[in-house]
Copies of this chain bind each other. A is one copy, B any other.
Amino acid sequence: MAHNAELISVGTELLLGNILNTDARFLSRELSKLGMNVYYQTVVGDNPERLRRAVETAKGRADILITTGGLGPTCDDLTKQTLAETFGKKLVFHAESAERIKDYFEKNLHNAPMPENNLQQAMLPEGCVVLQNDWGTAPGCIFEAEGCHVVMLPGPPRECEPMFSAYVAPYLRELSGETIRSRTLKLFGMGESAVESLLRDRMNALQNPTLAPYAKTGEVELRITAKAASDAEADALIAPVEREVRGIFGDLIYGADVGSLEEVVLAALKERWLTVSCAESCTGGLIAKRLTDLPGASAAFKGGAVTYWSENKRSLLGVPQALLDDKGAVSAEVAKAMAEGARSAFASDLALAATGVAGPDADERGNPVGLVYVALAAPEGTFCRELHLGQNRDRVRTSAAHHAFDLVRRYLQDIPLELEAAK
Chain A interface residues toward B at CB < 8 A: 14-22, 24-32, 38-45, 47, 50, 54, 57, 212, 214-215, 278, 280, 283-289, 291-293, 295-298, 301-309, 311-312, 315-316, 345-347, 358-360, 393-394, 397
Q: Are B43 and A50 in contact (CB under 8 A)?
A: no
CA–CA, A222 and B19, complex, Å: 15
Within the complex, the shortest CB–CB distance from A377 to chain B, in Å, comes to 16
Identity of the chain B residue whose Cβ is nearest the Cβ of A7 in the assembled complex: B43
Given contacts A40-B42, A214-B18, whether A288 and B303 have CB atoms under 8 Å apart is no
B contact residues around A57 at 8 Å (CB): 57
Which of B24, B394, B397 is in CB contact (< 8 Å) with A21?
Answer: B24
Which of B19, B24, B285, B291 is in CB contact (< 8 Å) with A43?
Answer: B24
Given contacts A18-B29, A41-B15, A57-B57, whether A304 and B303 have CB atoms under 8 Å apart is no
Q: Are B308 and A285 in contact (CB under 8 A)?
A: no
Which of B17, B19, B24, B309 is in CB contact (< 8 Å) with A298?
Answer: B309
Which of B42, B303, B394 is in CB contact (< 8 Å) with A293?
Answer: B394
Which of B54, B212, B292 is in CB contact (< 8 Å) with A40?
Answer: B54
Copies of this chain, tallied across the complex: 2
Within the complex, the shortest CB–CB distance from A402 to chain B, in Å, comes to 15
Q: Are A292 and B315 in contact (CB under 8 A)?
A: no
Q: Are B316 and A307 in contact (CB under 8 A)?
A: no
B contact residues around A17 at 8 Å (CB): 24-32
Which of B20, B26, B44, B308 is in CB contact (< 8 Å) with A292?
Answer: B308
Q: What is the predominant secondary structure among interface residues of chain A facing chain B? A: mixed
Q: Are A40 and B39 in contact (CB under 8 A)?
A: no
Given contacts A284-B297, A309-B298, whether A21 and B25 have CB atoms under 8 Å apart is yes
Within the complex, the shortest CB–CB distance from A401 to chain B, in Å, comes to 10
Q: Are B43 and A40 in contact (CB under 8 A)?
A: yes
Q: Are B40 and A14 in contact (CB under 8 A)?
A: no
Given contacts A40-B54, A285-B286, A286-B289, whether A303 and B297 have CB atoms under 8 Å apart is no
Identity of the chain B residue whose Cβ is nearest the Cβ of A47 in the assembled complex: B39
Identity of the chain B residue whose Cβ is nearest the Cβ of A278 in the assembled complex: B306
B contact residues around A397 at 8 Å (CB): 292-293
Q: Are B50 and A45 in contact (CB under 8 A)?
A: no
Within the complex, the shortest CB–CB distance from A199 to chain B, in Å, comes to 16
Q: Are B302 and A291 in contact (CB under 8 A)?
A: no
16 extra interface residue pairs, beta carbon distance < 8 Å, beyond A15-B40, A286-B292, A288-B306? A16-B29, A17-B27, A17-B28, A17-B30, A21-B25, A280-B288, A285-B285, A285-B291, A292-B308, A292-B397, A301-B308, A302-B308, A303-B305, A303-B308, A304-B305, A316-B345
